[in-house]
């Protein structure tokens, strides 16, 4: 994970706006709604039941998780200012909270230890930032999301 050394720029602002616009695309909105309301798997078995291969839910899962892993790659590579992104990018942590239990099994199943690593690294950096900025807020959020 790149350390935050870069001052936020207009390019950072424009990239964040573009990322927001992509989330408003109709298919992405459908996937986000499905993910927020229906994806609560904690085991690989629950994952396969919730979004079996070839299903619409599986496509929605992949759309959401790979989108946020892509955003994470911008953060880990230092292309996007973490400080600026963390001020408004809470959906990334929401997605990580929902998938973190199944990620180790997915990595094993896919034979890819790098699967979703940018999302994980960026979410963990976000959580550390959040804990420093608003102690207790992440714990309350996680409890609300994970139950």
Beta carbons of 80 and 16 less than 8 angstroms apart: yes
Asked if the model's pLDDT at residue 5 lies above 70, the reply is: no
What DSSP string runs through 74-134? HHHTTSS-HHHHHTT-THHHHHHHHHTTTHHHHHHHHT-TTTTHHHHHHHHHHHHHHHHHS
Q: What integer is the mean pLDDT of 114-141? A: 97
Q: Is the pLDDT of residue 1 over 50?
A: no
How much is the average pLDDT of 22-37?
Answer: 97
User: For the residues 137-147, what does the mean pLDDT come to?
Assistant: 92
Please report, for the chain, the start and end positions of each structural domain, with discontinuous segments joined by +. Answer: 10-146
pLDDT beyond 70 at 17: yes
pLDDT tens-digit series, residues 51-84:
999 999 999 999 999 999 999 999 999 999 999 9
Question: What pLDDT shows up at residue 129?
Answer: 96
pLDDT at 146 over 90: no
Mean pLDDT score of the chain: 94
Q: Which has the closest alpha carbon to 87: 2, 142, 29, 20?
A: 20
Under the banding of pLDDT at 50, 70 and 90, the label for residue 7 is: confident
**Where is pLDDT greater, at 147 or 57?**
57
* Tens-digit pLDDT profile for residues 90-109: 999 999 999 999 999 999 99
Q: In this structure, are residues 132 and 87 in contact, taking their beta carbons and an 8 Å threshold?
A: no
């Amino acid at each position: 994970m790149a350390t935050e050394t870069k001052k936020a720029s207009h390019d950072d602002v424009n990239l964040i706006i573009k990322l927001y616009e992509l989330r408003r695309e109709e298919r992405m909105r459908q996937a986000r709604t499905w993910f927020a309301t229906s994806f609560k798997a904690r085991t690989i078995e629950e994952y396969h039941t919730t979004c079996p291969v070839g299903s619409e839910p599986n496509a929605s899962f992949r759309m959401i998780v790979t989108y946020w892993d892509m955003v994470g790659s911008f953060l880990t590579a230092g292309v996007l200012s973490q400080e600026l992104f963390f001020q408004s990018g809470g959906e990334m942590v929401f997605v990580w909270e929902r998938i973190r239990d199944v990620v180790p099994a997915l990595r094993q199943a896919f034979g890819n230890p790098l699967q979703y690593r940018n999302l994980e690294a960026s979410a963990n950096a976000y959580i550390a930032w959040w804990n420093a900025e608003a102690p207790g807020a992440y714990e309350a959020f996680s409890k609300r999301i994970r139950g």
